[in-house]
Structure 1
Amino acid sequence: MGTQFLHVVLVPIPSQGHISPILQLGTILHTRGFSITVCHHEFYPVDPSCFPHLNFQPLKDGSSNNNGSCNDDSSSSFNWVDSILSLNDKYKVSLEDSLTQIVRASRQQINNSLPCVIYDGWMYVAAQVANDLNLPSVAFHTSNAGNFMNYLITPRLFEEGHIPIQDSKLLQQVPGFSPFRFKDLSLPSMENLDAMLKLSTFFCDTRTTSAMIINTIEFLEQSLLEMLKKHFQIPIFSIGPTHKVSPTICSSLLEEDTSCISWLDKQAPNSVLYVSFGSIIFLNKEELTELAWGLVNSKQSFLWVIPPSSLGGLRSLESLPDGFEDAIKERGYVVKWAPQKEVLAHDAVGGFFSHCGWNSTVESISTGIPMICSPNFGDQLLNARYLSHVWSIGIELEKGFCREEIENAIRRLMSDVEGKEMRKRAMDLMKMVEASVRRGGSSSNNLNELVDFISSF
């Protein structure tokens, strides 16, 4: 059977950091001859005109509000855990209806082939629904193998008495998970312990899942990938980074201000620090002020992304401290959102000050840019440890948003010998990423195997 007849249904969760790689995966599979349908949250602003090669089918939660995004309220682990559990409960019925309709339509086709469901690992209810309909399903983990391992070992850490974590243990290494410390993990507090353990169980359940895709690269996490393969005994395909493999598409759900590229064109090579903490990290007034003066005092040129969502809806420039604009003059540029991949690939950019979400992390590695790490929650904590202590291309802030530490970190990264050495290591990793996605590379080979695997259903 030729792959031109095969149908893949993608089920993302409504979050920018998750939907971008799943749209990239859909585009990749479309170029291999698959028909792609994306079952997405009805209120999440995916513009179908940007993806004419994909079919979109909205899911309804039956409520009257449009508050279904995983970006709600704040970025705390408590809200994240509850929102994911709620999301799976709310959309199960709608997903059942959508997949049933797709199956009926498939049975009317000449080849009578049933679709394969590829779902974001956090949208675990999709595996349950697919199993009920006798459809094959594949989990797609948009973060890395280390993040998956975090949730896999959470029940064990609870049974061994490590959870809840005592302050005295935060800097201790996690047993069997070197070199990560307890503070590097996304672990529950007593208040939401039961919910976190429940979520971890659902997230790591592969009993009805045929395979797993991870948006990582083998050379970055080889030992962890081997551990996961031995544990689950199902095919695991590391095909990342998807943004390097996918044909160029605009997967950003926020409007990009491209004027910053013209500003970068006027700057010297490796002279600009790019500052962005993603679309959902909230900065309070004190944090914003400390960050602003840390940038000013560093005397370094910078491009700073401040989306309104990070300020509780306030306007970016109005939220900055008095005197900031006069102090930076032409040395800084502030936008609400930027074309990040284009920015990181620009010759003028020499460093990235980031929250260390996985998309930002692999985009930075893929362009040879070292990082200043200010993680907030979830996989960001573990990614920062990877960057600073495993791959040695990042400087992690230990005091949060403190202007003196920020100024010092910027100088170390952008001006000192330490930063130059990090930049060289980052460039070496970039070359390894490029080799991985080329024909014969690990990610390229794994993608070919994934295509063959899906085609075999």
Structure 2
Amino acid sequence: MADSSADARPHALFVAGPFQGHFVPAANLAIKLAAKGFIITFVTTEAFHHMRSDSGASSHDQRDIFSAARSKGLDIRYDVVSDGVPVPPDWRSNLEPVFYAHAHLLQAHVEELLRKLLLAAEPPVTLLIADTLFVWPSTLAKKYGLPYVSFWTQPALVFTLYYHMHLLIANGHFGAIPENRKDTITYVPGVQAIAPADLMSHFHKMNTSAVIHQLVVKSFEEVKGADFVLVNTVQELEDETILALQREKPFYAVGPIFPDGFTMEMVKANLWPEHDCSQWLDSMPPSSVLYVSFGSIYPISERDFSEIVRGVLDSKVNFLWVLRPGSVGTGSEDDPLPEGFREASRGRGMVVPWCSQKEVLLHPAVGGFLTHCGWNSILESMWCGVPLLCFPLIVDQPMNRTLVCQNLRIGLKLGDIGKVRRDHVSNAIRGLMGGEVGESVRREMEEVKKATRSALTPSGSSFKNLDQFIVDLLKHLAEKKGGQ
């Protein structure tokens, strides 16, 4: 920036989504913006902060997660606010109270902090950056005369389907869609033909009073008032969709939002301690291990877990399985693996409660990833060039699978909730890890890997898009100041 004095630098109040998949890219984006000269006050909820600090995931100062970033000269401040969720939270049994709190209680606590920062911070806050799925940022920003930057942590494809929800409703693609419906969705700007069954999971339910539905509807009313939208994706991988969105809003693809060096994170954001798998992986042949993980929040059903477990056994493929606490069924922390599983897989399988996913995916022994299709997991696979087996569980994940399997062709479908079968699982695993179909997927993944890594180079699209966003934002701030 031309003027680096504190009073000339933008000071952003950055409110991160309090879930692992939202918090991690938000923290990394905050560091990138601070490295560009921003002052950042980074905020999350007390409940999420408690989950992190109580997890034992790291031994450094849990109260101040950006201490390492500040030691390198970056001006990032860290704060927490209440969202009305009890501390310690119990998210495994029911997420509805969490969504309700974010929809109805969080705004008042963020506003209280914002007023304090406007009055007492040096320099005062000049803009608001917030997770798109909050229901209040545009309203709050306008109340205090601040620009609002909406940060979307999922692919542009999912964003545009939410943004054009009115088209889906008008065409009967919202609610209890019959399973045998054969038509496709072809009317959303910038979106290839997609099947109604692949829409976000809550679009298939008629209960419009559900908190998750109300939260999404209201948040996308708010995003239409955003001055800028940053999205954690790569321009070249979703170019048609992004170009259509740019006709609606100032929309910038700045992903994948990883720390410099990929695994060299300044912020430890894990919710559980990481198990070191490197020695075991070192003992395995190249591209021989299937990595299995279903994410950090939502449990897989006991029925589907049983079919997938038996399919993995039948495949005879080496595997590394992350089985976090509460990941199966009703959230019980009892061992969900069937009797005899560990003995039957001895020598070719390893089960751990958590690990460094990036380090695992980078390991040459890993040849495939059986995933719930969380967007962070997909981006990490793209960076590492590891093809995917897709078993989505909830919300955006079915649509993420469509992007992976249909649009980019870097993965294979494993089956659907309640329908997946062990024989299909074992065949799909063998096909991905050693068959002709797997070879085709690997070739496509190599091209995607090149595009993903290229995007973050100084001549790459995401690098340039972030710089362009900063130029446009500074111009906007200057015009706003000049008009006062």
Give the equivalent residue in structure 2 for 1:406.
Answer: 425
Post-superposition offset of 1:124: 3.3
TM-superposed CA distance for 1:169, in Å, is 5.5
Out of 436, 444, 453, the residue aligned to residue 463 of structure 2 is 444
Task: Tell me the alpha carbon deviations over residues 222-251 of structure 1, each in whole angstroms, 9 at most, x when there is no partner.
Answer: 111111111x2x321110000165873144
Alignment of 1:19-38 (within 5 A): 19-38=23-42
Counterpart code for 1:300 = V
What are the Cα deviations for residues 232-278 of structure 1, in whole angstroms up to 9, with x where unaligned? 2x321110000165873144322343321221111111010000010
The reply on whether 1:180 has 2:181 as its aligned counterpart is no
Aligned partner of 2:163 in structure 1 is: 152
Pairs aligned (count): 443
2:83 alignment counterpart: 61
Cα shift readout 1:46-104 (whole Å, capped 9, x = no counterpart): 4344421332211123565544x8x55357xxx4xx75354131111111110011111
Q: Is the 8 A contact 2:12 2:39 kept in 1?
A: yes
Shift of 1:183: 1.0
Q: Which region of structure 1 is more displaced relative to structure 2, 336-345 or 186-195?
A: 186-195
SS in 1 for 2:385: coil
SS in 1 for 2:129: strand
8 Å CA contact 1:41–1:60 kept in 2: the answer is yes
Q: Is the contact made by 2:136 and 2:222 (CA closer than 8 Å) also made in structure 1?
A: no
Letter paired with 1:430: K
Structure 2 CA distance for partners of 1:170 and 1:214, relative to 1, 3 Å: farther
Q: Does 1:367 align with 2:348?
A: no
2:113 aligned partner: 98
Q: Which moved more, 1:20-29 or 1:167-176?
A: 167-176
Quote the offset at 1:133 in angstroms: 1.2
* Equivalent AA in structure 2 for residue 226 of structure 1: L
Task: After TM superposition, list the pairs within 5 Å mapping 1:275-286 onto structure 2.
Answer: 275-286=292-303
Aligned partner letter, 1:55: R
Matched, 1:2 2:3: yes
Partner of 2:452 in structure 1? 433
User: Any residues of structure 2 matched to 1:370-381 within 5 Å, and which?
Assistant: 370-381=387-398
Letter in 2 for 1:130: A
Work out which of the residue numbers 163, 166, 172 in structure 2 matches 1:161: 172
Q: What residue number does 1:243 align with?
A: 258
Q: Which amino acid is 1:56 matched to?
A: Y
| Residue equivalent to 1:265 | 282
Specify the SS of the correspondent of 1:33: coil
* Residues 72 and 130 (structure 1), Cα distance of their counterparts in 2 relative to 1, 3 Å cut: farther
Match of 1:190 in 2: 206
Q: Cα distance 1:357–1:105, how it changes in 2: closer, same or farther (>3 A)?
A: same
1:126 — aligned with what? 137
More moved, 200-209 vs 146-155? 200-209
Q: Secondary structure at the match of 1:309?
A: coil
CA contact (8 A) 2:29 2:257 kept: yes
Query: What one-letter code is carried by the residue in structure 2 that aligns with 1:185?
Result: L
* Alignment-derived partner of residue 439 in structure 2: 420
Asked whether the equivalents of residues 134 and 219 of structure 2 are also in contact (C-alpha less than 8 Å), the reply is no
Q: Match for 1:182: what amino acid?
A: P
Which stretches in structure 1 are left out of the alignment for 5+ residues?
Answer: none
CA–CA separation in structure 2 for the residues paired with 1:198 and 1:24: 25
CA distance in 2, matches of 1:74, 1:261: 35
State the Cα distance separating 1:174 from its structure 2 match.
Answer: 1.2
Deviation at 1:382, TM superposition (A): 0.8
CA–CA distance in structure 1, aligned partners of residues 142 and 99 of structure 2? 20
Helix, strand or coil: the match of 1:124?
A: coil
Please state how far the C-alpha of 1:209 moved relative to its aligned partner.
1.7
Instruction: Quote the Cα distance in structure 2 between the aligned partners of 1:305 and 1:27.
Output: 28
Task: Out of 190-199 and 203-212, give the one that drifted further.
Answer: 190-199
SS of equivalent residue, structure 1 residue 205: helix
Name the % identity: 29
* Aligned amino acid, residue 440 of structure 2: E
Q: 2-side partners of 1:4 and 1:387: how far apart? A: 45
Alignment of 1:140 onto 2:151: yes
- Are 1:165 and 1:182, in contact at CA under 8 Å, matched by a contact in 2? no
Residues 63 and 256 from structure 1, CA distance in 2 versus in 1: closer, same or farther, beyond 3 angstroms?
A: closer
Deviates more, 1:194-203 or 1:17-26: 194-203
**Matched AA of 2:192:** S
Find the aligned partners of 1:255 and 1:168 in 2 and give their Cα distance: 38
Q: Normalization by structure 1: what TM-score?
A: 0.90
- Matched AA of 2:208: N
* TM-score normalized with structure 2 length: 0.85
Residues 1:89 and 2:90 are matched in the alignment: no
Report the CA distance shift for 1:392/1:244 in structure 2 as closer, same or farther (over 3 A).
farther
Letter in 1 for 2:353: K
Aligned residue identity for 1:59: V
Residue of structure 2 in register with 1:211 after alignment = 228
Q: Which amino acid aligns with 2:205?
A: S
Calculate the aligned-residue CA RMSD, in Å. Answer: 2.3
Q: Say if 2:326 and 2:333, in contact at 8 Å, map to a contact too.
A: no
The letter of the residue matching 1:451 is I
Amino acid paired to 2:285: A
- The one-letter amino acid paired with 2:36 is R
Letter in 2 for 1:174: I
Mark the CA change 1:192 to 1:29 in structure 2 (over 3 Å): closer, same or farther: same
Deviates more, 1:248-257 or 1:50-59: 248-257
Q: Which amino acid aligns with 2:102?
A: L
Counterpart CA distance in 1 for 2:125 and 2:271 is 34
Q: Distance in 2 between matches of 1:199 and 1:355?
A: 21
Deviates more, 1:191-200 or 1:343-352: 191-200
Question: Matched residues in 2 for 1:172 and 1:229: separation?
Answer: 28
From 239, 243, 253, the equivalent of 1:226 is 243
Between Structure 1 and Structure 2, which shows a larger proportion of helix residues?
1
Tell whether the 8 Å contact from 2:300 to 2:327 is kept in structure 1 after alignment.
yes
Asked whether the equivalents of residues 133 and 215 of structure 2 are also in contact (C-alpha less than 8 Å), the reply is no
User: For residues 110-121 of structure 1, what are the structure 2 equivalents within 5 Å?
Assistant: 114-121=125-132
